[in-house]
Structure 1
Amino acid sequence: MTSSIDLPILPSRAPESWGRLARLLRPSRPQTPDQWAAENREYPRSAAVPGRRDPYLTPYVVEPARRIAASDRKRVVWVMGAQSGKTETFLDVAGQRLDQRPAPILYVGPNDQFLREQFEPRVMALLDEAPSLADKVARGKRMTRTRKVIAGVPWRLASAQSSSALKSDPFALALVDEYDEMVANIRGQGDPLGLIERRGDTYADFCCAVVSTPTIGTVKSVQDEASGLDFWDVMPADDIESPIWRLWQQGTRHHWCWPCPHCGDYFVPRFDLLRWPEGASPAEAAKATYIECPHCGGVVEEQHKADMNERGRYVAPGQAVDREGVVSGEPRDAATISFWTSGLASPFVAFGDRVRVYLEAVAMADSDMVQTAVNAGFGELYARGGIHLKEWEAVAKLRQPYRMGEVPSGVLRLTMAVDVQKNRLVYSIRGWGARATSWQIESGELAGYTDEQTVWGDLADLITGTWGGLPISLVLIDSGFRPNKVSEGSANIVYDFCRRFSRLTRPTKGHPTLDAPIKRSRLKVTVPGQRMQVPVELINLDTDFWKSRLHERLAWPFGQPGSFTIAGDSTDDYCKQLVSEVRQLTPGGRAEWVQVSKNNHFLDCEAMNEAAGHLLNMQRVPLGAGRRAETPPETEVPAETPPPAATAKATRNRMADLAARLNR
């Protein structure tokens, strides 16, 4: 007996489902991350470089990616510039691992916004564009913005700002991006890297890859005996503020090296090998920039980059490389394998464009912009001027042939800073020009006990005077006293003085660190002899920032916008006080200023003057700006005639006109 209804044994989509299952069960051909990416990844037409992913366009990514995939070291550290392909390399590594050896992966970005706006969309593009992954993705409710399931294993996207996300699950592979941007402590629970690496203790082949552009520190290059190459030296931890660089120098310290197109010898491309015409504008320098080979002096141009990258090799101290590109020898024995790649190797940005950005930052006299140009553009540490500025003779060389009290022609505005002591007021007046170029106008002391009014009267006379026809625009007075120290006076005296001269003066209070260089707050000050209180604005200063900024100015190239100039008759004591403290890092990485000589009052004054110039926005004044005319031009004065008698009608008309203007 047969059924009259012809029912199919399988649903209509069965062939598709069985085909998908077959693809999932088919073993993948072993490939390295670069091989897998070249075969499986394709960029959409909207991408900057649409079409097949070509990892060999950036050959310097191949070896780091392969070492991460090999998992033969627990930690791989990679320091590089911006726009060099590090994020795409992370996607290659993750895609290859999920396709070939599925295991839980943790990606950690510096903050939530970075995850949401930059990385997660690229993860989804990877999962959609790679045929070998698309069928393995669990979609629907199992997929969230921060958790993807591929081939049955999770890929979690976490922010370093969330300690709970870093402690959620065990992982076989951790990818840490922009490590230097991450917070040093997460809600009091320690370094994020320590939390991340504990998540891999249960996996024998766990690997943590840490990638970042560097930030601040002082480093020098030394010639390696084995290869003759100039490598970055290992520096004391106190000299390095950049977390990624500290990790890097604990490892093997591989450097990306190029062969010279002229002599064939390999060298390490760095910023100090760049050359451009002296005095050239940023645009002119961009067109004429080249690299000078350290071996033969040959001119290495942008057109040589592709071939040099193709033949490039990673070489570590203790190894050597011949002209055929064969690397011999073994790197130092280290638990971490570490790589450094110069931003000059990036095929996406030309040598000249990197130099143009750097010179524009220098012309703006903005040390933050200069730091970004050095860190992101070249993948190198930015050395704050004050880290090794200890010799006062170097400061004395900033003297120029004018005398205190004279105002050079470039000065547009004046600021003054006052350091309050028990028996005197130490002050310094500084003139400001375009792009925060500055000149010492007068520095000195007003003698007198600061708990009495006499010395404050002298200060009132001083701040209301003029120099070269210019009045003082802003006075900052340190009020950072502690009431339990009688020798340091009372902050109330400073507040009351600033109340009386509220248009011109502001009290300040220094803090070792703040979350911003300047923070404003309001105080209530009682008027002596009255019950009335009036508001006074307090300027809170990050002393580390402003002392560092001052020392950067002291090391600024003379004649460049933003340079720091000293009067020819300035005393040696003034110069010595400017370097009376040195910046050091504690074992926890916190910066502190250590006093190395007795008097540091002018250092405090000039650091406050730096803040005062910033408050006046002198760093934004364009080059070529001139001083306003000191006196109005003379005009012919007509003969005096008696005013017409005011009539009642005219008075009413004036009042009506005034009312109309007020009501507009």
Structure 2
Amino acid sequence: MDSFNDPEIEESVICKSTQIGGTEGANNMVGYIIEQDPSPTMIVYPTIDLAEWTSKNRLKPMVDLCPKLKERYHEGESKLLELQFDGMFIALSGANSPSSLASKPVRFVIMDELDKFPLSSGKEADPRKLAIERTRTYPTSKKIIKISTPTRKANPIWQEWESADDQRRYYVPCPHCGHHQTFKFKQIKWPKESTAEEAQATAYYECEECKGMIMDSHKQTMIISGKWISERKTGTRKTAFHINAIYSPWLKFGDIAYEFLKSKDFPELLMNFVNSWLAEPWEQTDVKLNSDLVLERQSEYDEGVVPDGTQLITAGVDVQRGYFYYTIRAWGTSMTSWNIAHGQAETWDQIESIMNYPFEDRYGNQYQVNLCAVDSGDRTDEVYEFCVINQEWAVPVKGSSRPLQSRYSMSTIEKVDSKAYGMRLYMVDGGQYKDMIAGRLNRPNGTGSWMVYKGCDRDYAEQICAEEKVIEKKGGIEVEVWRPKSSHAANHYLDSEVYAALAADLLHVRYLQFNNKEQQEQRPKPQPQSNFIKQESSWIQQRGRWLR
């Protein structure tokens, strides 16, 4: 707030963790503008839907509850996305909506969750630039506020932090020695070998100077006595602030330790911890991703054998013009998974037979595919018809042409003349699932790993590694994308595994719980495995492998 009133500061950048009060801070700025410095204002959110939600649930209630703001509010002249006040208006916009970023001259621009903005706004330019252009009418008095949780180093908020003239962090005094320091995750201590629950109960903060134990009871006084200190300053025009979740008055040091221990073994959860709790950008380490690595993930189980600990089985089908690639993957707790079969089929009947095949574990217990995700990008009508006929275990999916905020989104098939009219269609962000697969492939065999069956073939392994992550520039922003390593590289099994992983997400694979010990002890003893390859089915034996 002090920087907002500083005439020498034109841009303020807030790089923050989630739930630390960043949006509320922006709302306070809005309240100040309304009462003390009425001027046209634009607030930009990632989507127009979020802008509408914020107007209804955050800004309007704030105005109603504050008499000074309410007496300046012109309710009869206001709309959901344009609030009118004495001498000013507030336009609420979505970065995904060009019309909402239209030419409204404004003095103040606040951009909330910058890293979630799309790279372009429809056919228009970068929405960040469009918003900033609205301030041209106020060359000497404009204020631009950029707020976001970071994602990657190359993405906007971290680039804004890096390019700031003045970088500030919040320093708090040690209650024992008085040394001022920033809260750092590495200084949170707990006994080695502790479970997440034990760490949550015992964690404390260690002063980096005197090594004194700082307890949760000290934290509030430390924060009240703290101050923003410049760590690098070459000017003041653009000032940036960084703050993480350790400062939150609602979180204990043990809560941070607990979240880390629950996340550390799972790349996608660890990424969220780094971004949303530490307010740091996630940097994928140099991932070793080649066919040798895939073959190193061979388990003790033969092809077609359901591994111990399996709780559900999913499948993915990549549809080509004259044939299909499929994978079948077993899932256990902690996102542990095993490919138990993969191959090619030539007809829909063959796919249906494979998905209804009674797979067995080494005790003779039978399993079938719980859910199969079928690519609808090609032969779309056939896919829809197949999924309608087999809707109890098959769903149509389609790769998204743009990055999604989550791994997948849900839409509805609107082709009126299709039997699938009204059926759910899942759009999948293949890049996010490939990140997950790459991360888990680099985990050794065991809990949380992404494994294959014993004797897995090299062709499958090569296809899983047919793509690599590269940095490309889109709309002036560096983004990481998955691209084929060569123009002729086949990646059908990789796509199939993406679909199988989506199917697992739809079945809430993250929330699988361990079977109790008594149930495991009651399992029958292993019996000699029967020959899994069925000689009587001619199509199963194609290319000399099961289900090929």
* Range class of TM-score, shorter chain: 0.7 to 0.9
SS at match of 2:474: coil
Cα distance, 1:69–1:506 mapped onto 2, change above 3 Å: closer
Residues 1:550 and 2:437 are matched in the alignment: yes
Residues 1:510 and 2:403 are matched in the alignment: no
2:305 to 406, 425, 431: 406
Amino acid of the structure 1 residue aligned with 2:338: W
Per the TM alignment, residue 116 of structure 1 is displaced from its structure 2 partner at its CA by: 1.5
Residues 1:342 and 2:278 are matched in the alignment: no
Distance across 2 between alignment mates of 1:458 and 1:143: 57
Residues 1:121 and 2:61 are matched in the alignment: yes
SS at match of 1:269: coil
Distance across 2 between alignment mates of 1:185 and 1:201: 20
Deviations 1:346-398 (A, max 9, x none): 223222234445656779x794x766655443333456x6x853433665664
Distance across 1 between alignment mates of 2:293 and 2:144: 45
Amino acid of the structure 2 residue aligned with 1:378: L
SS at match of 2:368: strand
Residues 1:438 and 2:337 are matched in the alignment: yes
Distance across 2 between alignment mates of 1:298 and 1:336: 36
RMSD of aligned Cα (Å): 4.5
How many residue pairs get aligned? The number is 499
Cα distance, 1:534–1:169 mapped onto 2, change above 3 Å: closer
2:141 matched to which residue of 1? 205
Per the TM alignment, residue 289 of structure 1 is displaced from its structure 2 partner at its CA by: 2.3
5 Å-filtered alignment, 1:161-176, equals: 166-167=101-102, 169-176=104-111
1:156 matched to which residue of 2? 90
SS at match of 1:68: coil
Deviations 1:249-295 (A, max 9, x none): 33244333445566766554344544444564544332222345567
Q: 1:435·1:623 contact (CA, 8 Å) conserved in 2? A: no
Larger radius of gyration: 1
5 Å-filtered alignment, 1:618-637, equals: 618-624=509-515
Q: 2:412·2:425 contact (CA, 8 Å) conserved in 1? A: yes
5 Å-filtered alignment, 1:214-363, equals: 214=150, 216-217=151-152, 235=153, 237=154, 240=155, 243-252=156-165, 253-258=167-172, 267-277=181-191, 280-292=194-206, 299-310=213-224, 312-315=226-229, 319=232, 331-332=233-234, 336-357=238-259
Q: 2:314·2:372 contact (CA, 8 Å) conserved in 1? A: yes
Counting aligned pairs with the same residue, the percent is 24
Distance across 2 between alignment mates of 1:410 and 1:388: 31
Distance across 2 between alignment mates of 1:92 and 1:121: 13
TM-score, length of structure 1 as denominator length: 0.62
Q: 1:416·1:427 contact (CA, 8 Å) conserved in 2? A: yes
Per the TM alignment, residue 114 of structure 1 is displaced from its structure 2 partner at its CA by: 0.9
Distance across 2 between alignment mates of 1:338 and 1:599: 46
Higher mean alpha-carbon deviation, 273-282 vs 515-524, is at 515-524
5 Å-filtered alignment, 1:25-36, equals: none
Cα distance, 1:141–1:521 mapped onto 2, change above 3 Å: closer
Residues 1:581 and 2:467 are matched in the alignment: yes
Cα distance, 1:70–1:333 mapped onto 2, change above 3 Å: closer
Distance across 1 between alignment mates of 2:99 and 2:401: 30
Amino acid of the structure 1 residue aligned with 2:496: C
Per the TM alignment, residue 78 of structure 1 is displaced from its structure 2 partner at its CA by: 0.7
Distance across 2 between alignment mates of 1:434 and 1:559: 11
Distance across 2 between alignment mates of 1:332 and 1:497: 63
1:379 to 273, 279, 301: 279
Distance across 1 between alignment mates of 2:272 and 2:114: 16
Q: 2:355·2:368 contact (CA, 8 Å) conserved in 1? A: no
Amino acid of the structure 1 residue aligned with 2:162: Q
Unpaired stretches in structure 1, ≥5 consecutive residues: 1-64, 218-234, 320-330, 482-489, 527-532, 632-664
Distance across 2 between alignment mates of 1:71 and 1:287: 46
Distance across 2 between alignment mates of 1:377 and 1:475: 35
Distance across 1 between alignment mates of 2:74 and 2:24: 23
Per the TM alignment, residue 117 of structure 1 is displaced from its structure 2 partner at its CA by: 0.8
Per the TM alignment, residue 201 of structure 1 is displaced from its structure 2 partner at its CA by: 1.8
5 Å-filtered alignment, 1:427-466, equals: 427-434=326-333, 436-443=335-342, 445-446=343-344, 450=346, 457=350, 460=353, 464-466=357-359
Q: 2:42·2:93 contact (CA, 8 Å) conserved in 1? A: no
Per the TM alignment, residue 173 of structure 1 is displaced from its structure 2 partner at its CA by: 2.8
Unpaired stretches in structure 2, ≥5 consecutive residues: 525-548
2:289 matched to which residue of 1? 391
Q: 1:390·1:579 contact (CA, 8 Å) conserved in 2? A: no
Distance across 1 between alignment mates of 2:187 and 2:464: 32
5 Å-filtered alignment, 1:161-200, equals: 166-167=101-102, 169-200=104-135
Distance across 2 between alignment mates of 1:202 and 1:502: 57
Per the TM alignment, residue 112 of structure 1 is displaced from its structure 2 partner at its CA by: 0.9
SS at match of 1:210: strand
Distance across 1 between alignment mates of 2:3 and 2:147: 13
1:594 matched to which residue of 2? 483
Q: 1:83·1:348 contact (CA, 8 Å) conserved in 2? A: no
Distance across 1 between alignment mates of 2:321 and 2:38: 70
2:366 matched to which residue of 1? 470
2:51 matched to which residue of 1? 111
Per the TM alignment, residue 456 of structure 1 is displaced from its structure 2 partner at its CA by: 6.8
